[in-house]
Structure 1
Amino acid sequence: MNVLSWLNQEAFAAFGQHIIWSDMIGNTVGLAALALGWRRSIWTWPAQLLSGVILVGAYAAAHLSGGVGKQLLVIGVALWGWRQWQRGRERETDGTIGHIAVRFATWRERGMLLGATALGTLLVGGLFTAVPELSWNPWPDAYIFTGTLAAMVAQARGLVEFWLAWLLVDLVGVPLAFTSGLAFSGLVYVIYLALVLWGLRDWWLRSRADAPTLEGAAA
């Protein structure tokens, strides 16, 4: 038995839901990645990378091509975001490298994120509808696919709005995961909601603390 076969085996059953190893392990690592993102730790990116690799198997087993595509995007954007944060970390007063600086998006950036998400959902959803073999639930699957990409791009740029993007993805991701047989993903999405609200508050306050420094540098 290879590793992929083992990961897609049932780990246990609870409340009528069958939990597979890849779903459980991948999402547990994803939770750790989100917590690291809240702390503005650069280790959020390798954690997201590992989570994406494992969850490719989980979504493939559930026949959700949008989920597979989403995780492939997670892997690619995690590599890009890792590089962005390596280059963008702020220096502490003692000269050591600290955390990434965060800020609110400009109205132009918000418009671009919303427009790209809407257009991406239409294009991907249209593809899934035209080719039913790709996804049994095309529009929610397409929305999560593009919403996740938008959230990760915003995170890589240090935008507070990335938390709001994750919140909007969760609102669709929870019911889709449960109806797709990925119960652990559904549970994790609920936990994500609490972490997202906590992280949003922390980044919001941090952006206000960073603002005088950024304004002084610009002057």
Structure 2
Amino acid sequence: MSALSWLNSEAFTLLDQRIIWSDMIGNVIGLTALALGWRRSVWTWPAQFLSGIILFAAFAGHMTGSAGKQVVVMLVAAWGWWQWTHGRARAQDGTIAVRFATWRERGAMAGAALVGTLAVGGLFTAFPSLSWDAWPDAYIFVGTLVAMYAQARGMVEFWFAWLLVDLVGVPLNFANGYAFSGFVYVIYGALVLWGLRDWWLRSRRSAEPALEGAAA
């Protein structure tokens, strides 16, 4: 049996749902990546890249849109690694600077999400072989990209974007037979709320010295 065949073979059955190895391993690594992101560790990006490779193997040939999303995940993970090691997201003391996005940045991300979802959803609708669920798949595809962009820039809004992706990702994965992805998305939701609280508090602490300096 080849490595790819083994990855796409059944690991076990849970609550009458068939769990395949690639779905399970890829999502466990993805969950680890989210936890590393909460801790502001640069290793979140290699973990996301590896998760993307394994989940691509899970979705390729079945959910083309989700497989394509993993390619985007890998590309953005490489860019995010650069941002957290050399880019503007890194503070002078070497830590990752956490902040809220400006209203202009929020508008740009919301606009990009809307236009991107319409474009990708239209593509999936025109070519049904690309996706089983055109519009939900497009929503998750674009939402993941926006969330990872916000994470790479150290924006607290990264967590809000993941919450919005989870709202659609959980039922979509269960409906398409990727039960482990669905279960993990539920855990993602809990981690996202925890991470949101941590980044929110850190952004307030980071803003306080700047306010004190302005007052002086």
Q: TM-score range by the shorter chain?
A: over 0.9
Distance, in Å, in 1 between the alignment partners of 2:201 and 2:42 is: 19
Identity %: 70
1:140 aligns with 2:131: no
Is the alpha carbon distance of 1:57 and 1:108 closer, same or farther for their aligned partners in structure 2, counting shifts above 3 Å? same
Q: Deviations over 1:8-52 (max 9, x none)?
A: 000001111000000000000000000000011111001101000
Q: Which amino acid aligns with 2:51?
A: S
Deviation at 1:65, TM superposition (A): 1.4
Instruction: Give 2:56's aligned residue.
Output: 56
Distance, in Å, in 2 between the alignment partners of 1:189 and 1:27 is: 9
Distance, in Å, in 2 between the alignment partners of 1:156 and 1:127 is: 27
Instruction: Give 1:25's aligned residue.
Output: 25
Instruction: Give 2:13's aligned residue.
Output: 13
Deviation at 1:90, TM superposition (A): 2.8
Distance, in Å, in 2 between the alignment partners of 1:91 and 1:20 is: 44
**Partner of residue 165 from structure 1, selected from 149, 161, 165:** 161
Distance, in Å, in 1 between the alignment partners of 2:172 and 2:69 is: 14
Deviation at 1:2, TM superposition (A): 1.8
Q: Helix, strand or coil for the counterpart of 1:89?
A: coil
Distance, in Å, in 2 between the alignment partners of 1:30 and 1:136 is: 23
Q: Deviations over 1:80-107 (max 9, x none)?
A: 0000000243354xxxx3x301000000
Q: Helix, strand or coil for the counterpart of 1:124?
A: helix
The two structures have a TM-score, normalised by structure 2, of 0.94
Q: Deviations over 1:158-197 (max 9, x none)?
A: 0000000000000000000000100000000000000000
Distance, in Å, in 1 between the alignment partners of 2:160 and 2:187 is: 15
Distance, in Å, in 1 between the alignment partners of 2:209 and 2:33 is: 28
1:90 aligns with 2:97: no
Deviation at 1:212, TM superposition (A): 3.0
Aligned residue pair count: 212
Q: Mind listing any 5+ residue stretches in structure 1 that lack a counterpart?
A: none
**Partner of residue 115 from structure 2, selected from 113, 119, 123:** 119
Q: Helix, strand or coil for the counterpart of 2:12?
A: strand
Greater mean deviation of Cα atoms: 137-146 or 1-10? 1-10
- Which aligned segments of 4 or more residues in structure 1 are displaced greater than 6 angstroms? none
Instruction: Give 1:76's aligned residue.
Output: 75
Q: Helix, strand or coil for the counterpart of 1:100?
A: coil
Cα RMSD between the aligned structures? 1.4
Deviation at 1:64, TM superposition (A): 1.2
Q: Which amino acid aligns with 2:11?
A: A
Distance, in Å, in 1 between the alignment partners of 2:91 and 2:141 is: 31
Q: Mind listing any 5+ residue stretches in structure 2 that lack a counterpart?
A: none
